[in-house]
Structure 1
């Protein structure tokens, strides 16, 4: 099935849509359900059908609202009971350069063209503002492909009268709006059409015959791009690379050819190809993508290759290096376990088709790009898939590699202690647990869509929804930020409790509780519970209600509430559970190892935290 959703896309995606849809729905995937409104400036039916397939492939099952032909602006700007009742989770506006009201005339002066541009931008920005006000959900907007003819030839790009110039300026205004407004995202049709081939993309036959703004064969590429944005918003991105070495990161086989004879670096054309590929892979660290090696090699040989002075990727760039003769699928599973990730979070890159097929069979939901046999094609094969589509880029993303390096150091430290409690004490942990703060709202929203394993209700929130909850007195909101002597883990836990008034008194109903798996078994869950109890007591609330809704990924928290002292009230046939805790007046705190900051002050640096901690019989020296 995976190959059907890998470019180049065949016509089967549309011609066999019903069969593919049925197979995807029957695949047993753990779907999340979303409502998507498509507001189109042209015919959108096949776009909707293709988008549905790509989203099902990503584990997102959707219902759709589709505007009538070219009614996108009217649907957005005027009262629309049908769309309001639909309550979209995402709105996608499919427009093209065919929807530009008017282009500049050669007789117009620069000021008149500027006014024309501002009027065109105002038409769109006013629509986006209203959609945000009425529907408070993410909006995805196409930018503009270039025109397929140029009245001024090459001058069309430079002269203010030119259509190319006009569309370039308008695209920049769209980009600026996106930078200034959260939950607004650009679907880069300008790039897609260039990559596909503008003449083929904008074939006028499809417009005049069917009122399609792009050629029918190009629709899967458009839908793939929109689906990448949506799956990123809902935490479906991949998180890590698992990379082969021989003939993947370098040319040659290090065990046979020797490290000195590998093809890499600037001396040969093929060496330059492999160096460019390494540069591409290394750049992903800036996004927080985790790099790992899985290679059938002796460790000594693998390290000799990676330590060559002309290697772009060095051993320190990788979180884990598995160079051995074990099955690569097992190595990926082992890495995933060590890093508290799901195996399906990985993108496995290997030049050997047999190894690729084994990983596909053993880890069905891992990404295995068909990179082919030409190293110069590797980048394109990976990049066009959108495995790591960026919709939000937080400081925690940029620091993720460092955080996982720190976690590896924690794991090494753990084995030096006979007593786990002494190990936790040695970490000198301090948490900042506070109500949602503006500076963390983006990260909080991101966590709600990324966390799957330690997630009791698996509810997903957009940033706009998180902002609304943060401002609503009916909710208790908590984020948890954890630092220790190895470094800052960032925001790692989120809880939302809705205050409900019942005849017997008010209670706190936990609608969301999640935690990053990288801080499991560190007492952070107890620290969060203690603070939630404290907040409830402050508000005169004596009962907390919690829920566990099982998914294919969150079995690890099945008995979480029992461990927290809650009483099970009911469980249905699907395994959905409800619990309650009647807070005793002398509630005993469960967190034993984390110093919690309640005062609204930012957590101090690791150095300052450690300076406040007592030395524990010099046990830190043993780490």
Structure 2
């Protein structure tokens, strides 16, 4: 299908007065590759009501930013998102972000995007005349102004704010005629951008994208004619690359970050077919052409070290393959780097489905990489939830193809991420123990579990935030929290934020969940209960709830309210409160409410012991 044909089909969908499946829209987007085509597609997508995860994005700026919203709609749809947008007026960013009760406040976006250009700097030159010294002062004034505006705005919202660094215009750099001053100007401008990049250290919910890095391969980033005609400082090429990052940020906030990278082997991790060429005959070395695959493996290893789970989905005989992991000097990836290996001659869609089941993860957590278009199409048709990377025919582009859409990007990286692979291997060992045990009770007793319930402190904030944003199945309300939210809740006298860790004979699972409680005199409200899928089916949630109810009772609480708000993925916990002795109260936009009045007690889970901890909640 051509780009023109795909746009025509999108037009037809936009005319339909019905809800469209986001997967039907996504299938058309892969054929639309030009910035102009993507801008047109995004405009059409914004007219379509889809079943994607809703997200609200506000765009404000110091220049004309029309087109950014369309590029973002295009990229967000690829991530199963359906965005609603707010567009601030020309150069209204200060007013909208400073003024309480502005239209921006009423829109209440999940993410506010503020795109600034050099005008926010040059406006401060005034009558000082054009010189490196006057620009130095202007850069300082501009940064102070931006920081002030953001500080005021963050006092009203804990939601994410996204900016980008501001590029030094080439013509203005060339205006300086001596090279010493040119160098000094570049130093000062970079210092300004460095200050922007450092804003996250004082404003936790601010993300600043590196414009210079992201636009390296974007082509023309400025159109002088459009600058004069429409005050448009950046081209559609810029919106295209920035919108990919914005879509990754939105996906992370909405719990849609990918977790698993499933890899083919032949012509993917190395050049050639190992069954024909042998271990030392494949292309894999530090010299061309093998260095292309060497670099690809380096990239994959870096992802794995940051918490991405690696699996193999290959049509091969494992006996023919396994030796390369130990006997090839340039094989960066080792067998131990993979949490699941599926080498057989069955359909890869079945292999991926089995992996998802074994790892207790949704199929939409998977990204599949294969050089063969036929295999990619089969997986796409049988498992539309799986993200399939369209690898280029040229292996020198493999790294680009894997990273370009930022499927594994996350807002924060925690110590838990760096050990995720090991934790999932431990989970598979538990499954082996479970299969060997005579009964489920015997299995759970043999696990020797120890639970630690604690009050969330500042050191726990990144992990609690991540659980909020990435957990979908055991998430009673699917409320997503930012680091600022978690910090405010943990420091509030009217809230309690419990975290819990779990350890067993196979290792430490780390922090696996949290419970957010609001205290209202003699009544507590459980705002949300979140738990990692790694510890399902062990009654950890029952023991945690029992301990919290004990805590409530000791504080003289008469009743505890729990809320369940259904989502596409949390049906697993629809009856959680009912199963634990809560009584139905009512139902509304907030979800279903349940109440516990201490008429009965939840029995202690016999196979879970409590760990002693200095942070232990006194229950």
TM-score class, shorter: 0.7 to 0.9
> CA 1:6–1:429 in structure 2 vs 1: closer, same or farther (change >3 Å)?
farther
Secondary structure in 1 matching 2:289: helix
**Partner residue in 1 for 2:460:** 440
Larger deviation: 421-430 or 511-520?
Answer: 421-430
Structure 1 residues 9-408: aligned runs within 5 Å = 9-23=34-48, 25-26=49-50, 28-29=51-52, 31-32=53-54, 34-101=55-122, 114-149=136-171, 151=173, 159=181, 162-197=184-219, 200-266=220-286, 268-310=287-329, 311-408=331-428
Matches of 1:391 and 1:212, distance apart in 2:
30
**Partner residue in 2 for 1:454:** 474
Matches of 1:2 and 1:68, distance apart in 2:
34
Do 1:106 and 1:161's aligned partners in 2 also have CA atoms closer than 8 Å?
Answer: no
- 1:307-362 deviations in Å (ceiling 9; x for gaps): 33321111011111110112111111111111111111111000000111111112
Matches of 2:202 and 2:300, distance apart in 1:
29
Do 2:515 and 2:526's aligned partners in 1 also have CA atoms closer than 8 Å?
Answer: yes
**Partner residue in 2 for 1:607:** none
Match for residue 594 of structure 1 among 592, 608, 611: 608
- 1:79-115 deviations in Å (ceiling 9; x for gaps): 4533333333322111123432357978555xx7654
Match for residue 430 of structure 1 among 429, 450, 461: 450
Q: CA RMSD in A?
A: 2.8
Do 2:257 and 2:409's aligned partners in 1 also have CA atoms closer than 8 Å?
Answer: yes
Matches of 2:205 and 2:548, distance apart in 1:
29
Matches of 1:99 and 1:60, distance apart in 2:
32
Secondary structure in 2 matching 1:269: coil
- 1:172-226 deviations in Å (ceiling 9; x for gaps): 11122224432110122222222213xx111212211222111135433322222
Quote how far apart the aligned CAs of 1:236 are: 1.6
Secondary structure in 1 matching 2:290: helix
Do 2:562 and 2:577's aligned partners in 1 also have CA atoms closer than 8 Å?
Answer: yes
- 1:53-97 deviations in Å (ceiling 9; x for gaps): 433443334433332201212332344533333333322111123
TM (norm. structure 1) is 0.87
Quote how far apart the aligned CAs of 1:575 are: 12
> CA 1:328–1:392 in structure 2 vs 1: closer, same or farther (change >3 Å)?
same
In structure 1, runs of 5+ residues without a counterpart are: 604-623
Do 1:157 and 1:163's aligned partners in 2 also have CA atoms closer than 8 Å?
Answer: no
Secondary structure in 2 matching 1:134: coil
The number of equivalent residue pairs is 588
Matches of 1:106 and 1:16, distance apart in 2:
43
- 1:581-611 deviations in Å (ceiling 9; x for gaps): 2213x724332222224764479xxxxxxxx
Do 2:527 and 2:563's aligned partners in 1 also have CA atoms closer than 8 Å?
Answer: yes
**Partner residue in 2 for 1:493:** 513
> CA 1:495–1:227 in structure 2 vs 1: closer, same or farther (change >3 Å)?
same
Larger deviation: 375-384 or 425-434?
Answer: 425-434
Do 1:433 and 1:528's aligned partners in 2 also have CA atoms closer than 8 Å?
Answer: yes
Structure 1 residues 459-538: aligned runs within 5 Å = 459-500=479-520, 506-538=522-554
> CA 1:497–1:107 in structure 2 vs 1: closer, same or farther (change >3 Å)?
closer
- 1:2-38 deviations in Å (ceiling 9; x for gaps): 4626884442333244543355x33x33x23x43332
Matches of 1:158 and 1:539, distance apart in 2:
70
> CA 1:527–1:70 in structure 2 vs 1: closer, same or farther (change >3 Å)?
same
Larger deviation: 51-60 or 170-179?
Answer: 51-60
Match for residue 565 of structure 2 among 536, 540, 549: 549
> CA 1:525–1:80 in structure 2 vs 1: closer, same or farther (change >3 Å)?
closer
Matches of 1:139 and 1:41, distance apart in 2:
15
> CA 1:536–1:370 in structure 2 vs 1: closer, same or farther (change >3 Å)?
same
Do 1:523 and 1:593's aligned partners in 2 also have CA atoms closer than 8 Å?
Answer: no
> CA 1:7–1:450 in structure 2 vs 1: closer, same or farther (change >3 Å)?
farther
1:4 aligns with 2:32: no
- 1:390-418 deviations in Å (ceiling 9; x for gaps): 32111111121121122222223333322
**Partner residue in 2 for 1:580:** 595
- 1:425-477 deviations in Å (ceiling 9; x for gaps): 23222222122221111211111111111112111122222222222333332
> CA 1:601–1:551 in structure 2 vs 1: closer, same or farther (change >3 Å)?
closer
Larger deviation: 331-340 or 424-433?
Answer: 424-433
> CA 1:302–1:180 in structure 2 vs 1: closer, same or farther (change >3 Å)?
farther
Matches of 1:211 and 1:106, distance apart in 2:
22
> CA 1:237–1:2 in structure 2 vs 1: closer, same or farther (change >3 Å)?
farther
Matches of 1:529 and 1:157, distance apart in 2:
68
Matches of 1:364 and 1:21, distance apart in 2:
22
> CA 1:301–1:339 in structure 2 vs 1: closer, same or farther (change >3 Å)?
same
- 1:147-178 deviations in Å (ceiling 9; x for gaps): 23364599999757654333222111112222
Quote how far apart the aligned CAs of 1:516 are: 0.4
Matches of 2:602 and 2:356, distance apart in 1:
35
